[in-house]
Amino acid sequence: MTVPATNKTVLNKYLDLPQPEEKVQVEYIWIDGSGEGIRAKCRTLDFNPKSPEECPVWNFDGSSTEQAEGRDSDRYLQPVAMFKDPFRRGNNKLLMCAVYDHKLKPVKTNLRHTCKAAMDKAKAEEPWFGIEQEYTLLDYDKYPFGWPKKGFPGPQGPYYCGVGANKVYGRDIVEAHYRACLYAGIEIAGCNAEVMPAQWEFQVGPCLGISMGDHLWVARYLLHRVAEDFGVIVTFDPKPMSGDWNGAGAHTNYSTKAMREEGGLKYIEDAIDKMAVRHADHIVVYDPRGGKDNERRLTGKHETSSIHNFSAGVANRGASVRIPRQVAEDGKGYLEDRRPSSNCDPYAVTEALVKTTILDEPLF
């Protein structure tokens, strides 16, 4: 297979050209009709925007993104969050957008709309989130990066947080992505090699309310763009390799103000009780296909709980919800919901947690 490639050194010659001070390139980013794909396009502004609200609403061809029909194809991009652009640098920006139809109603995959409403209602409780985003690097043939082409690497064991060329594959991409996130202003908290070789994780948070979804989606965009420069593919498939290999999740750490204060463990346990009652509903919203993707991952093996049963425990990575050991000892802190799939929509996940544990509202 011939892999198309360009010379990045040649590109730098053009990126080094002086950019007019009054011209700013803004990359509009949005979620497509699949609910997990990311699209983006650029426009020039004649001023340097200081907030997303200063950026104009734009439009795109929704018939090419599974978000409209050709006879009524225009869809609107409403700016919601802005970051620095680590690729073009200077005053250039990355702009996360929500998608609306011709009547200015949110399209089906605009889950930010209802998430924002829930976060506004729960504002007094100060919900914090941190998401541990797992993913897998693939070669151009869509086989895990670094794996032998006619076989498999050794069994899982030495790869988690591993060091060495025979333990980890693709660290250059991970380091480049981390630095790009820091430059952009993403609340990235850490990264590590995961249990399956070529599988990695980065953590975003703590983020307050709606900002969790904004930061994680843009962090995903940055990961795709960085990997593109290296000629490597990123997949958020929850079970990219069948057999005795770990899947990929988006473990979600969650707390309210009451949980973080003295005596907070009681509020954590109360929240878990509420989550247990709505387990089936949460499973439906925790991946883009209503639980079908998580069905391949949540088997009760490979550090997962069973998709069919709710469980919770201290330091138990085989439970639906884990209370970290330190939290149990301190009597306050946060809980970790281990059920969301790696390709989840963080807006849907955080909304579900707030509706269940704070607002006592149905998810559907």
pLDDT tens, position by position, 227-250 = 999 999 999 999 999 999 999 999
CA dihedral 335, 339, 344, 346 (to 10 degrees): -10
Which run of H or E residues covers position 335?
strand 335-337
What is the C-alpha separation between 60 and 75, in angstroms, rounded?
6
Segment 252-268 shows an average pLDDT of 98
Q: Which domains does the chain have, with CATH numbers?
A: 8-109 (3.10.20.70), 119-359 (3.30.590.10)
Segment 150-171 shows an average pLDDT of 96
Question: pLDDT class for 1, splitting at 50, 70, 90?
Answer: low
Is 113 in contact with 98 (CB distance < 8 Å)?
A: yes
Q: What is the pLDDT of residue 86?
A: 98
Comparing CA positions, the residue from 196, 218, 264 lying closest to residue 98 is 218
Pair type for strands 233-235 and 321-323: unpaired
340-350 confidence digits (pLDDT tens): 999 999 999 99
What is the C-alpha separation between 186 and 226, in angstroms, rounded?
15
Does residue 8 register a pLDDT over 90?
Answer: no
* Paired residues of 262 in beta bridges: none
Does residue 150 register a pLDDT over 90?
Answer: no
Is 219 in contact with 179 (CB distance < 8 Å)?
A: no
Is 36 in contact with 236 (CB distance < 8 Å)?
A: yes
Q: Running DSSP on this structure, what letter comes out for residue 186?
A: -
Does residue 168 register a pLDDT over 90?
Answer: yes
Residue listed under structure tokens 């803004």: 26
Average pLDDT over the chain, rounded to an integer = 96
85-99 confidence digits (pLDDT tens): 999 999 999 999 999
Segment 304-321 shows an average pLDDT of 96
Q: Which residues, other chains included, contact 126 with Cβ-Cβ below 8 Å and sequence gap of 6+?
A: 208, 256, 257
Segment 135-162 shows an average pLDDT of 95
Helix (H, G, I), strand (E, B) or coil at 53: helix
Segment 47-71 shows an average pLDDT of 96
173-200 confidence digits (pLDDT tens): 999 999 999 999 999 999 999 999 999 9
Does residue 149 register a pLDDT over 80?
Answer: yes
Q: Please count the other Cβ atoms lying within 10 Å of the Cβ belonging to residue 44.
A: 11
Q: What is the pLDDT of residue 253?
A: 98
Q: What is the pLDDT of residue 6?
A: 84
Q: What is the CA radius of gyration of the chain?
A: 21
Comparing CA positions, the residue from 268, 271, 273, 276 lying closest to residue 333 is 268
* Furthest CA-CA distance within the chain: 61
Comparing CA positions, the residue from 274, 295, 294 lying closest to residue 286 is 294
Question: pLDDT class for 103, splitting at 50, 70, 90?
Answer: very high
∠ CA(135), CA(305), CA(317), 5° rounding?
70
Segment 307-325 shows an average pLDDT of 97
What is the C-alpha separation between 106 and 193, in angstroms, rounded?
37
* Paired residues of 314 in beta bridges: 323
Q: Please count the other Cβ atoms lying within 10 Å of the Cβ belonging to residue 80.
A: 20
User: Rounded to two decimals, what is the model's pTM?
Assistant: 0.97
Is 336 in contact with 253 (CB distance < 8 Å)?
A: yes
Is 248 in contact with 342 (CB distance < 8 Å)?
A: yes
Question: Which backbone phi and psi does 109 adopt, to 5 degrees?
Answer: -90, 5
Question: pLDDT class for 136, splitting at 50, 70, 90?
Answer: very high
Phi-psi category of residue 11: left, alpha or beta, with phi > 0 → left and psi -120 to 50 → alpha: alpha
% of residues, the chain, pLDDT over 90: 96
For residues 220 and 5, the model is more confident at: 220
Comparing CA positions, the residue from 249, 292, 290 lying closest to residue 135 is 249
Does residue 266 register a pLDDT over 70?
Answer: yes
